[in-house]
């Protein structure tokens, strides 16, 4: 059960980060600035360490490039 909860939480976090990234990209922000915004968001909301932030950023990049698909 713990593994399922962990996966569920990660999926929800990724959905939130992708929504933020899409909103910022649609607003015309540069992609590097978008990733900085996401890192700040992860630090303030979830207090992620650097390696976890890098992993989530890579996942967001793949989702935005349609290499990963988040299912609801």
Instruction: Give residue 30's pLDDT.
Output: 95
Global confidence as pTM? 0.87
Instruction: Give residue 1's pLDDT.
Output: 47
Where is pLDDT greater, at 2 or 69?
69
Instruction: Give residue 38's pLDDT.
Output: 97
- Cβ atoms of 53 and 61 closer than 8 Å: no
Show the tokens assigned to 51. 């390696």
């Amino acid at each position: 059960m713990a593994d399922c909860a962990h996966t569920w939480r990660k999926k929800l976090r990724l959905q939130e980060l992708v929504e933020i990234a899409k909103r910022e990209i649609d607003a015309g922000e540069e992609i590097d600035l978008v990733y900085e915004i996401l890192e700040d968001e992860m630090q303030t909301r979830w207090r992620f360490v650097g390696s976890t932030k890098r992993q989530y950023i890579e996942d967001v990049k793949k989702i935005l490039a349609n290499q990963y698909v988040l299912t609801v």
